[in-house]
Amino acid sequence: MTADFQGKVAFITGAARGRGRSHAVRFAEEGADIIAVDLCEQIDSVAYPMATPEDLDETVNLVEKTGRRIVAEQADVRDFERLKAVVAGGVPGAGGLGGDLSPVAASVRGAEGGGRQTSQSSRT
């Protein structure tokens, strides 16, 4: 295992399960500390069960098993101010991202297959 991301902080959305979780764990295995967010609530227009707080807790456990630090928060990627606040808090002892948080994009696919995408850009 290499430490390509030693001393870095990775910001992962959708971190409670699936690709988000796998990316959080992989970045941690490569040496990064993690800032992880997930909504952990059901959205009415989404036909499948969405992630839960317990799913996010499991991501925390898996990252901690790698020996890296993680801050995990429930946050909606459509709420850019909330995302900036989570990133600004950073990982204790490791700091924040130290750069731009741009762009932020979220896509939620409904049962009919239609989606709504939002995107914002800002400096932190």
Average pLDDT, the chain: 81
- Phi and psi at 47, nearest 5°, equal -75, -20
What type of residue sits at position 97? L
State pTM to two decimals.
0.77
* Architecture per CATH, 9-122: 3-Layer(aba) Sandwich (3.40)
Residue 17 · residue 59 · CB < 8 Å: yes
pLDDT digits (tens, 9 = 90+) for 13-60: 999 999 999 999 999 999 999 999 999 999 999 999 999 999 999 999
Residue 124 · residue 84 · CB < 8 Å: yes
